[in-house]
């Protein structure tokens, strides 16, 4: 028999609890389903550490469930490997907390968006400390935003301080000028080799999801705003540099528009792109490439037409915990990561071969180099990306490398902030991508 209950609820973020199979108390593979009137709102495996074992679960939610819990419209069901199911109770003290009015941000009575609705200790353990809107991680590197979105905050890159900078300050302007000069240098070097150059800057999650981020994060860092003012307007067009602007397109309006139509381009518990966001960035890259390589525009546009037909998968999604999920007290945060239906791409992904040319320097990421060969790819081009974790190692379509290895005949991913001339001259690619992130702009590479 399976026993347990739902004893934690964080408004707009998650529900949690515990469940044990008395016939197999060491089992940690029980599936928990959160149901409302027959609709599955989310699932999780009960394998989180709680008190006497790995029996806890947490399910991400994106809406208020207070009234549904109070009115009995929510069912929590545990399922074992044999398919047997057991309905779990909702802890009475949790229901009592839900029924008790709170205090809103303006001082009036009623439940606030920041209020955490959790229970007293259950039979298994005491719940983790509340995680509410505005909660900072113990190391201050992350902060909870609206609807359960987690954002980088302080930490190594001190993202909040980047948003506080003055765009007109001498330091910010000097930084923007240095990046601008670097991009022009890269363009001249690659143009002399007849290689197409694309410079990509991934905006911060908080720059795109402005309505979800705490007020200290947004709407755009001074560094990116100052740099884009130069790149997209420029005061040296009359000097014959207008052509260099072809290498850069801002992703800020693109991804904000994507979010506005209900397709969040970033994951909730991660600092990186969602599958939908990665696809949108890749589509924009191809549109840019069609302009840079007009002789390949026809085939590129055919690929773009196919990608325009990619839709969300019919299944609910997968349980996912990102790189920001473990920064708070208690079990890791989790979300239901929306999936895309990639079946139309199956032909092009069937025969991809990968070789790792360098595993990284001194056990780190920098220097990692992998190459994918795809004889079935529709774009017979060799591409090298000097990039970082937004490309990643090609395992999942959340990373840009997955899309490049699928559509290009040969694709190299080098984890590097620098453009490495020796690699370029050795492999002689058709296209070079240099990619960085908004929070990395304070440090300008040498090459």
**Lowest mean pLDDT across 20-24, 221-225, 255-259, 390-394:** 20-24
The 8-class DSSP code of residue 272 comes to S
Structure confidence at residue 29 (pLDDT): 80
What are the C-alpha distances in Å from 437 to residues 181, 294, 324, 417, 434? 18, 28, 17, 10, 11
Give the per-residue SS3 of 298-360. Answer: HHHHHHHHHHCCCCECCCCCEEECCCCCCCCCCCCCCEEECCECCHHHHHHHCCCEEEEEECC
Q: What are phi and psi of 224, to 5 degrees?
A: -70, -40
Does the pLDDT value for residue 447 go beyond 60?
Answer: yes
* Pairing assessment for the beta strands 14-21 and 116-118 based on DSSP bridges: unpaired
> Do the Cβ atoms of 384 and 432 come closer than 8 Å?
yes
Question: Tell me: the pLDDT tens digits for 21-44?
Answer: 877 777 778 889 998 888 888 888
Structure tokens at 175: 């930084």
Cα torsion 404, 405, 411, 414 to 10°: value is 80
What are the C-alpha distances in Å from 376 to residues 300, 340, 348, 351, 380? 15, 21, 6, 7, 9
Q: What are phi and psi of 93, to 5 degrees?
A: -70, -30
CATH number, domain 2-126, options 1.10.1660, 3.30.200, 2.60.40, 3.30.70: 2.60.40
Lookup result for tokens 């929070």: 439
How far apart are alpha carbons 242 and 247 in whole angstroms? 10
Going by C-beta distance under 8 Å and a sequence separation of 6 or more, which residues neighbour residue 257? Answer: none
Highest mean pLDDT among 22-26, 70-74, 221-225, 312-316: 221-225
Higher pLDDT, 13 or 423: 423
pLDDT band at 110 (very low <50, low <70, confident <90, very high): very low
Please work out, in degrees rounded to the nearest 5, the angle formed at the alpha carbon of residue 216 by the alpha carbons of 319 and 161: 100
**Is the pTM above the cut of 0.95?**
no
> Do the Cβ atoms of 60 and 320 come closer than 8 Å?
no
Question: Tell me: the pLDDT tens digits for 62-90?
Answer: 778 888 887 788 889 998 888 888 888 88
Q: Is the peptide bond before 219 cis (omega within 30 degrees of 0)?
A: yes
What is the widest separation between alpha-carbon atoms in the chain? 79
Q: List where CATH 2.60.40 sits in the chain.
A: 2-126
**Lowest mean pLDDT across 30-34, 161-165, 220-224, 432-436:** 30-34
Does the pLDDT value for residue 288 go beyond 90?
Answer: yes
The 8-class DSSP code of residue 203 comes to P
């Amino acid at each position: 028999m399976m026993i347990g209950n739902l004893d934690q609820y964080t408004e707009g973020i998650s529900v949690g609890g515990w469940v044990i199979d008395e016939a197999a108390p060491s089992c940690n593979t029980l599936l928990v389903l959160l149901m409302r009137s027959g609709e599955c709102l989310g699932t999780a495996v009960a394998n989180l550490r709680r008190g006497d074992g790995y029996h806890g679960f947490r399910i991400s939610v994106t809406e208020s469930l207070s009234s549904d819990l109070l009115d009995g419209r929510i069912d929590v069901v545990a399922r074992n490997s044999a398919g047997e199911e057991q309905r779990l109770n909702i802890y009475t003290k949790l229901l009592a907390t839900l029924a008790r009015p709170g205090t809103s941000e303006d001082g009036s009575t009623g439940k606030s968006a920041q209020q955490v609705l959790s229970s007293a200790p259950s039979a298994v353990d005491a719940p983790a400390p509340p995680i509410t809107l505005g909660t900072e991680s113990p190391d201050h590197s992350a902060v909870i935003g609206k609807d359960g979105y987690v954002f980088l905050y302080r930490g190594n890159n001190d993202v909040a301080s980047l948003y506080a900078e003055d765009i007109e300050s001498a330091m910010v302007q000097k930084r923007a000028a240095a990046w601008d000069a670097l991009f022009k240098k890269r363009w001249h070097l690659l143009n002399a080799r007849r290689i197409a150059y694309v410079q990509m800057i991934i905006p911060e999650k908080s720059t795109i999801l402005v309505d979800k981020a705490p007020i200290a994060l947004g709407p755009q860092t001074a560094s990116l705003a100052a740099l884009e003012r130069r790149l997209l307007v420029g005061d040296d067009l009359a000097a014959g540099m207008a052509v260099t602007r072809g290498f850069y397109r801002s992703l800020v309006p693109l991804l904000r528009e994507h979010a506005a139509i209900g397709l969040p381009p970033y994951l909730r518990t991660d600092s990186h792109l969602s599958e939908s966001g990665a696809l949108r960035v890749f589509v924009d890259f191809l549109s840019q490439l069609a302009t840079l390589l007009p002789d390949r525009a026809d085939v590129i546009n055919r690929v773009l037409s196919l990608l325009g037909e990619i839709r969300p998968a019919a299944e609910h999604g997968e349980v996912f915990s990102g790189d920001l999920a473990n920064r708070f007290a208690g079990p890791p945060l989790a979300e239901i990561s929306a999936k895309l239906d990639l079946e139309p791409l199956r032909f092009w992904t069937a025969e991809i071969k990968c070789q790792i040319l360098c595993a990284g320097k001194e056990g780190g990421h920098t220097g990692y180099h992998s190459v994918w060969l795809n004889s079935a790819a529709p774009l017979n081009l060799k591409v090298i990306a000097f990039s970082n974790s937004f490309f990643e190692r090609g395992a999942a379509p959340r990373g840009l490398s997955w899309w490049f290895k699928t559509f290009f005949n040969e694709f190299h991913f080098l984890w590097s902030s620098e453009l490495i001339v020796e690699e370029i001259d050795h492999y002689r690619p058709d296209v070079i991508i240099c990619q960085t992130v908004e929070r990395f702009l304070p440090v300008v590479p040498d090459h």
